[in-house]
Structure 1
Amino acid sequence: MGIFDEIKKKLSHEFIDIIEWLDYTEDTIAHRFERYQNEIKNGAKLIVREGQMAVFINEGQLADVFTPGTYTLNTKNLPILATLKGWKYGFNSPFKAEVYFVNTHLFTDEKWGTKNPVTLNDDRFGLVEIRAFGTYAFKINDPGKFIKDIVGTDANFTNFEINEHLKSLISTRFTDTIGEANLPIELYAANTTELSETCLEVMQPEFNSVGISLEKFFIENVSMPEELKKEIFEYSRIDKLDLDKLTKFKAAKAIEAAAANEGGTAGAGMGMGMGFALAQQMGGMMNPTANTTQQVQQQQNASIAPPPIPVQIQYYYANNGQQAGPVSFDQLKMLFANRTINKNSLIWKQGMTTWLELKDIEELKSFLGGNTPPPLPNV
C-alpha cells in the first residue's frame, strides 16, 4: 500500500459523515459512538432512531440531547455546543465531542427479590420473618442525567451493570414500605396488588433521581416459614369459631345420643326414676300424716337450699373492625391466650356506657399477668 493510500484511508476516517447506532444486543442501555480522534465533520448527519436518544458530551460537560430524527450537525442544531466551543466562524473545521446513544425502550421482566428475610413485629405472633420476590420494568426518561450520574465514561453500558444497583434499591424500599404498612402477617400475601402499587409510588422518586422511570412493579409472592403458616391456619380456624354455638351444638348432640340409647342403661334409669316418683305419690295418699311431715321437711330443706346460680357476665369484643360475641369470662380469657384479642382490644359488657380497652377493665386486668396488691395504708 502506497503513501497516497495511507493518506486516503486516514482522511476517510478523520471526518465522519454519518453518526448512527444499531443495537443488536437487546440489553445495551448506553453506547458511545466510536470515531477517529473524536472528530465530527461539519454538516455530518446524525440519525437517531425510535427508542433512542443521542447525548453530546463536550469535555465532560453535557452539551445537547437529540430525540428521534435525522439532523445535520451545524451551529443551528448545536447552539449549546457552539457556545461552549466559542467558534466565531461556525463549523468551518471539524469539532470534537463524545456522542452517546441511549436506549429508551422499555426493559421488561427484570427480576428482584429479598436477599435476606425481612423481620416484622406482629401483634399476635411476635417477631416473624418473610421473603418476597417479583418483577419490574423500567426505561430511561432523562438520558443526560443518566449519562452523567450512572454511565460516566463507560463505552458500552449494559442492563446487567445497572440491575444490581436497582435490585438493592428495590429491596431496601420494599422493606421500609411493608414495615410501615403494619398489616396482620397473614394479609401480606393476600394484598400483593395493593402493596405493589404502594411500592411503585415510594420507589419512583429514587429512580427519577438518576434519570430512570420505574414503569411497573409487581410482587409475585410473599413467603414465610412453614411452621408460621401452620400456626396462622390454626389461628384462622379458631378465630372463625363461635364458642357459644359450639357449646350448644355439643349439648344437642349429647341429648340426641342419650335419646337414641333409651333401650339401654339410660332408658332403665329413666324408668326407675319414674317408678320412685309414682311410689312416693301413692304413699302420701295412703298416709296423710307422713305426707304432712314430708311437706314440712321439704319446706325446711327449701329454707336451707343454696341461693340461685349467679348469671354469667357476657362480653362483646371488637375483632378486625367487627363486633363479636357474646362470650363468657373464661371464653374471653381463651381468646386472649390464643391472641385473637390483646390488651388494646375494645371490650363492652352490659352496664358500660362505652367500649373500653381490655387493659382498662378492672376484672380483665388479670389476663395481663403480673398482678400485685396495692400498697398497705398508713397505720
Structure 2
Amino acid sequence: MGLFDWLRGQFIDVIEWLDDSSDTIVYRFPRHENEIKYGAKLIVRPGQKAVFVNEGQIADVLGPGTWQLETKNLPILTDLQHWDHGFTSPFKAEVYFVNTKRFGDLKFGTKTPIIVNDPQLGPVRLKAYGTYEIRIKDPAKILRELSSTDGNFTTEEIEKFLANLILAKLPIVLAKSGISIFDLAKHYDRLGEKIKEELQPYFDDYGVLLEKILLQSISLPKELQKAIDAKGAQNVLGDMQEFIKYKSAQGIEKGGSASDIVGLGAGLYAAKEMFEEKTTPPPLPQEHYYIAMENKPMGPVSKDQLQKMIVQGELKPDTLLWQEGMEQWQRADEVVKELFKKIPPPIDES
C-alpha cells in the first residue's frame, strides 16, 4: 500500500487554518478525499469563519472557537446528508476558512480621465487615485458570488473588480456633492465617506463591507490646473490690495511718511508683477515665397526679404515666384506687384 493510499484511508480529526499570509481571503482545507471523523475538532481562530459545503451547497457557518463536529453543531449539514439520530460515522464535506479581518491598502485609480460635471465649470476631465479597506461580513455570499471553488482566493483576485465599482460611482458622488474642483482637496475625507455610502449596497451583494475609502489625489488637465493657479494668484492679489489700503490708513494715523507708504505700494506691486502672467501677443504670421534662380527654387523667403531684393535689383518683375496654394510659378510683378510700386521709377537722364 503506497503513501497516498494510506493517507486516503485516514480520518481527519483536526481541522484548522494557520494563516501566515496577509492577503488570503478564502482558504479551502485540504481534505485529500479523506472523510472527516465524527466528533473531530474544528479550530476557528479570531478573524476567521469556517464554512461547510456539501456537494456544492453551502451548509453551516461556524465562528471563532473550538468545535466538536457533531450533529448538534452542524444542523444544516445534518439535514443535507440525512443523518439519523445517533449518527456517529465519518462523513465527507468541504471546509472553507474565510478571513474576516480588515484588508487595507487596496488601490484604485483611473487609467483614462473620467468626466465630472463641475458646478462652476461644467463637464471636466480628471483622474482620481486612492486606497480602500474591506472586510468580509458574509462568508456564504463571497463563496457563492466570487471565490466559488477557488481554494486560495486572495485580495489580488478581487481588488481590480472592487476598484472598478468605486470608479464607476465616483463621478456620481462628485456631481451630487456640489463641490467645485477648486475646493476638492480640502474635502477628500467627506467625499470618501460619500463614496462609501453610495457603494455599500453594491458591495453587500458580494458579502463585502467597505470599511474606508481614502482619496489621495485628483489630477486635472494641465490647462485647467493653470486656470486654478491663476485663480489662486488673483485671490492673493485681491488680499494684497486690501492690505495696502489697511497699511496706508494705519501709516497715516501713526504719522508715517509718504515715502513709507509709497515704498509699501512699490513692494506689493513687485509681488503683483511676479504673480501676474505676461500676456504679450505672438508675432503675426508672414507669407513666404520660393524664387526661381537659375532654374532652381530658392527659399522660402518673406515679403520683407523680397522687398530688399527688389531694392537691390536682385529680384526683377519677370522673376518667377511660387508659394503654397499656387498651381504654377508666376511672375513676381503679378504675385507681389504692390512691392514693385514702392520702388521709385528710374531717373530720366535726358
Tell me the TM-score range normalised by the shorter chain: 0.5 to 0.7
Structure 2 partner of 1:182: 178
CA root-mean-square deviation: 2.7
Amino acid at match of 1:9: W
1 CA distance for matches of 2:119 and 2:10? Answer: 72
2 CA distance for matches of 1:10 and 1:134? Answer: 48
Structure 1 partner of 2:286: none
2 CA distance for matches of 1:114 and 1:8? Answer: 53
Could you tell me whether the CA contact under 8 Å between 1:130 and 1:225 is conserved in 2?
yes
How far 1:236 moved relative to its partner? 4.3
Question: Is residue 25 from structure 1 mapped to residue 21 from structure 2 by the alignment?
Answer: yes
Could you tell me whether the CA contact under 8 Å between 1:15 and 1:39 is conserved in 2?
yes
Could you tell me whether the CA contact under 8 Å between 2:132 and 2:214 is conserved in 1?
yes
Could you tell me whether the CA contact under 8 Å between 1:38 and 1:97 is conserved in 2?
no
1 CA distance for matches of 2:16 and 2:238? Answer: 73
Residues 88 and 169 from structure 1, CA distance in 2 versus in 1: closer, same or farther, beyond 3 angstroms?
A: same
Structure 1 partner of 2:163: 167
User: How many equivalent residue pairs?
Assistant: 246
Is the helix fraction higher in 1 or 2? 1
- Classify the secondary structure of the residue corresponding to 2:104: strand
Superposed counterparts of 1:119-138, under 5 Å = 119-122=115-118, 124-138=120-134
1:8-44 CA distance string (max 9 Å, x none):
8246x53101111111222111011111325211111
Question: Is residue 58 from structure 1 mapped to residue 40 from structure 2 by the alignment?
Answer: no
Structure 1 partner of 2:92: 96
Any gaps of 5 or more consecutive residues in structure 1?
Answer: 253-258, 261-379
Amino acid at match of 1:200: K
Structure 1 partner of 2:6: 9
- Classify the secondary structure of the residue corresponding to 1:205: helix
1 CA distance for matches of 2:86 and 2:59? Answer: 16
1:235-293 CA distance string (max 9 Å, x none):
344467769x79x98xx9xxxxxx99xxxxxxxxxxxxxxxxxxxxxxxxxxxxxxxxx
Amino acid at match of 1:70: T
How far 1:200 moved relative to its partner? 1.4
- Classify the secondary structure of the residue corresponding to 1:116: coil
- Classify the secondary structure of the residue corresponding to 1:46: strand
Residues 241 and 124 from structure 1, CA distance in 2 versus in 1: closer, same or farther, beyond 3 angstroms?
A: farther
How far 1:114 moved relative to its partner? 1.8
Question: Is residue 146 from structure 1 mapped to residue 142 from structure 2 by the alignment?
Answer: yes
Larger radius of gyration: 1
- Classify the secondary structure of the residue corresponding to 2:33: helix
Structure 2 partner of 1:374: none
1 CA distance for matches of 2:150 and 2:84? Answer: 32
1 CA distance for matches of 2:237 and 2:119? Answer: 20
Q: Percent identity, aligned pairs only?
A: 46
Give the alignment partner of residue 113 of structure 1, picking from 99, 109, 115.
109
Any gaps of 5 or more consecutive residues in structure 2?
Answer: 249-257, 260-350
Could you tell me whether the CA contact under 8 Å between 1:139 and 1:215 is conserved in 2?
yes
How far 1:226 moved relative to its partner? 2.5
- Classify the secondary structure of the residue corresponding to 1:203: helix
